[in-house]
Amino acid sequence: MRAVVQRVSRARVTVEGDLTGEIGPGLLVYLGIGPGDGPREVEWAARKVAEMRIFPDQAGRFDRSVEETGGAVLVVSQFTLYADTRKGRRPAFIDAAPPEVAAPLVEAVMAALRARGLQVEGGRFGAHMLVESVNDGPVTIVLDSTDLDRPRG
């Protein structure tokens, strides 16, 4: 599972002119699902997104999470996070999970975030979406579940 997490002052996603999700201050999460992802990665992603301390405290240091600030989360499925660009000019997406695997896992991450008490909005899986955001900072963090089994060093 891969995610690009952006701290935003606001973000919204529309599909064919219909607003599907909109948040004020919080996190915009582009979420990609890999073929081997499952419940372990869902819980990991939800915990990381909810608890990551990338909001400033009174001293301006990154010391508060979206949970602590009362912010919201906008989740947008993004299979292109699994693009393989090693050969040629056209990316290959064979490392992304197929839609029938990925869609339920995206929903599971959103449900896990909601279970933590967060306001969670989303795009529409598989649709052509227009995403608008105002990146606050800018702060952009890349998460990859392959880090689960890699020692920190």
Residue in 6, 20, 55, 78 annotated catalytic: 78
119 is catalytic: no
Tell me if the bond preceding 39 is cis, omega within 30° of 0: no
For residues 3-23, one letter each, b for 16 or more C-beta atoms within 10 angstroms of the residue's C-beta and e for the rest, the string is: bbbbbbebbbbbeeeeebbeb
Residue in 55, 69, 80, 119 annotated catalytic: 80
79 is catalytic: yes
Residue in 6, 20, 55, 79 annotated catalytic: 79
Dist CA 34 CA 93 (whole Å): 10
80 is catalytic: yes
Catalytic positions, written as ranges: 78-80
